[in-house]
Amino acid sequence: MKSASSSWLPALAIILFLLAIWEGYVRIFDVQKWLLPSPTVIAATMVDDAALLSRHTWVTLTEVLIGFGVALASGVALASLIVFSRTLERAIYPFVIASQTIPIIVVAPLLLIWIGYGLAPKVIVVALIAFFPIVMNMVDG
C-alpha cells in the first residue's frame, strides 16, 4: 500500500517546478511587476495585504453561499414539481434545458446593467450556475 505522501508528492513537485520556471523567467527577462509579477512578489503581497484579502474573501464567500442557497431552494422546489407532475415536467423541463444554452458570460453584464453593482447580480449569477445541476440531479436521481 502506498503512503499518503506518495500520492500527492508528484503533483507538488510539478507545481513547484512550474513556479520555479515562472520565477526564473520573470527574473531573467526582467519582466515588469505590473505585467507579470513573480510568485514571490505575489506571495509577499498576499502576506502584506492579508487583512484586505481576508475581507474580500469573506464577501465573496457570502455571495457564493447566498447564491447557492437560492439555487438549492429553487432547484429542489422545481425538481419536486417536475418529479411529481408529468404535466409540469412536459411544460417546464424544456425551459430548464433551454436555459443552459445562454452562456453566463452573456447574462452577467446584463444583470449589472439592469440591477447595478451590488450583492444581487452576483447572487443571481451563482444561483444560475448552481440551479441547473441541482434540478437535473434531483430529477434524474
Per-residue model confidence as pLDDT tens digits over 65-81: 999 999 999 999 999 99
Same domain, 35 and 72: no
Same domain, 64 and 87: yes
Same domain, 54 and 44: no
pLDDT at residue 47, as a whole number: 97
In the structure grid, which three cell numbers stand for residue 126, read together?
A: 451563482
Give the number of other CB atoms < 10 A from CB of residue 116: 9
pTM: 0.77
Helical residues (DSSP H) of the chain, grouped into ranges: 4-28, 39-48, 50-84, 86-98, 104-115, 119-140
Same domain, 14 and 79: no
Give the number of other CB atoms < 10 A from CB of residue 58: 10
Same domain, 43 and 56: no
Low-confidence ranges of the chain (pLDDT < 70): 1-2
pLDDT at residue 99, as a whole number: 86
pLDDT at residue 2, as a whole number: 65
Same domain, 32 and 58: no
* Domain interval for residue 13: 1-48
Same domain, 28 and 87: no
Please tell me the total count of domains within the chain: 2
Same domain, 85 and 105: yes
Same domain, 31 and 55: no
3-state DSSP call for residue 36? coil
Same domain, 67 and 122: yes
Same domain, 69 and 88: yes
